[in-house]
Each structure stands twice: as C-alpha cells, then as structure tokens.
C-alpha cells in the first residue's frame, strides 16, 4: 500500500510512502554513552534506535510470531548536531514510513533536551521465515498493525 505524503519531520525534502504507526519514547543518557569529547558516541545512537524500534513494535504486539520473524536489513543515521550529557532525557520519535511486500521502514528523529533535532535515522526491516531466514510476504495482520495511526 502506498499513501504518498511529505514526512512532517525531515529537514530534507524526502518523501514517505505511507503514514503508519508512531511512538515517542524518552531515554536517559548514560555517562557510559559519552566519548572522550563529552558527546554521545555514535554507537549509543544505535542503542537508542533499537529501544525506540522495539517500543514501537511492542506497542503493536508485533514483536514475535511463530510464522514470521523480523530482521534489520539496513540502518542509516544522519547526525545533525552533537548530543552532550544532560539530566533531561533524549526523546526519540519513531514512525513506520514505508511498507513493501516483504519489508518496511521505520523513520526516527532524535531530539535533545531542548526539542532540537540531533539526528535523523531510518531502519529497514525484512519479514522472514523463522526457520530458513528467507524473506516472505508480509502477513496481512502485521501490515494492518504497521498502518495503525
């Protein structure tokens, strides 16, 4: 299903294919997330995205199923401004922005304590057979959950 729209979050003129499920989570920065310059290290961003992704998928009750599994195919992060240590949490907004036959994309915004965008990211997930790991057509029940707004 394709429902063209302009993504409300992007600082670029990118396009999304559909409006789907969304979530917003807060993550407390840990001192161990920092690099020697006092910035949140790029590796920590992947942890933050994983927390948001699992939160979104968990809210949809779509984490695990005997008939299919979901694997990360690709992930891209565009760093806009560094995150330093702060007592206030980082906010991560995650939204399903593209659904294909065997995969879907989650788009994220990572916001600092002032609400400014520190990074934008995408994760592409594939739906696979849990036994052989090969891509399969997305079950209709999962597709419907992903399209929840």
Assess whether pLDDT exceeds 50 at residue 131.
Answer: yes
Is 39 in a helix, a strand, or coil?
strand
Identify the CATH number of the domain in which residue 97 sits.
Answer: 3.10.129.10
Whole domain around residue 46: which residue ranges? 5-146
Mean pLDDT of the chain: 87
The dihedral through the CA atoms of 98, 148, 1, 73 has a sign that is positive
| Runs of H (alpha helix) within 29-139 | 42-59
Which of 126 and 7 is assigned the larger pLDDT? 126
- Residue 138 is encoded by which pair of tokens? 């997305």
**Per residue in 17-34, is it b (16+ CB within 10 Å) or e — as a string?**
bbbbbbbebebebeeebb
**pLDDT tens digits for 89-124?**
999 999 999 999 999 999 999 999 999 999 999 999
- Number of structural domains (the chain) is 1
Assess whether pLDDT exceeds 90 at residue 67.
Answer: no
pLDDT value of residue 10: 40
């Amino acid at each position: 299903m394709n429902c063209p729209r302009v993504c409300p979050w992007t600082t670029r003129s990118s396009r999304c294919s559909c409006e789907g499920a969304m979530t917003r989570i807060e993550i407390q920065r840990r001192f161990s997330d920092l690099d020697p310059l006092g910035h949140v290290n790029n590796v920590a961003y992947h942890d933050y995205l994983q927390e948001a992704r699992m939160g979104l998928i968990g809210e949809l009750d779509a984490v695990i199923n005997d008939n299919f599994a979901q694997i990360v195919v690709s992930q891209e992060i565009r760093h806009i401004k560094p995150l330093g240590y702060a007592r206030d949490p980082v906010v991560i907004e995650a939204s399903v922005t593209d659904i294909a036959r065997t995969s879907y994309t989650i788009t994220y915004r990572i916001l600092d304590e002032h609400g400014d965008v520190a990074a934008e990211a995408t994760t592409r997930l594939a739906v696979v057979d849990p036994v052989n790991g090969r891509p399969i057509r997305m079950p209709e029940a999962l597709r419907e959950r992903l399209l929840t707004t």
